[in-house]
Amino acid sequence: MIDYSKYSDLESYLFNEVASNFQNRGYLTTEEFFCIIIWKANRAKSKIARKFNDYKDINKGIINLTSTIYNKDSNKEKMRVLIEKGYYLPMASAILSVLYPNDFYIYDFRVCDILKEEYKTDKYHRVKNWIFERLWNGYEEYLQKTLDVSRKDNYRSADKYLWGKSFSQQLEKDIKNRFGEKTNTI
């Protein structure tokens, strides 16, 4: 019997069960792969599914992709697999952060905003447009900066902290601006 309650806390399911399954078997199932996609950006699932149109069986395509990642020796080459298959850095890093949480961190616009504020640069907002070598170097710098700014000792904790900080700051602004509504003053 399937325990459907695992989907109610998708993040825990991904970072516990899916990550463990991947490490044990060397690939993801289609369901596991799309749980990562939906967790990162639900709106992207059909676009990501089209990346497997060359395969008669989407399951074989996902096993091929994820086993290729599994068999790469370096983090850089794991990332290269996804980038060269047309995944943008935010999605590629989300996939890899689930599969290798000690080595990867999600490239996220909220965290870029925090880094922009901290370092007075929008450099990290431009990483997605770089050729792979520059993208990788920029991503490694991004990883280090997130640990530095968050003062956390691992990527998962840094991600949660910085995402939460950005969310809180945005909420404060939205409340102050009444969520963008025009107000009548008397």
pLDDT in tens, 55-74: 999 999 999 999 999 999 99
Q: How far is residue 184's CA from residue 7's CA, in Å, rounded to a whole number?
A: 44
Q: How far is residue 144's CA from residue 147's CA, in Å, rounded to a whole number?
A: 5
Contacts of residue 67, defined as CB under 8 A and 6 or more positions apart, other chains included, come to: 26, 27
What string of DSSP letters covers 46-95?
Answer: HHHHHTTTTSSSHHHHHHHHHHHHHH-SSHHHHHHHHHHTT--HHHHHHH
pTM score over 0.95: no
pLDDT in tens, 16-33: 999 999 999 999 999 999
Q: In this model, does residue 183 exceed pLDDT 60?
A: no
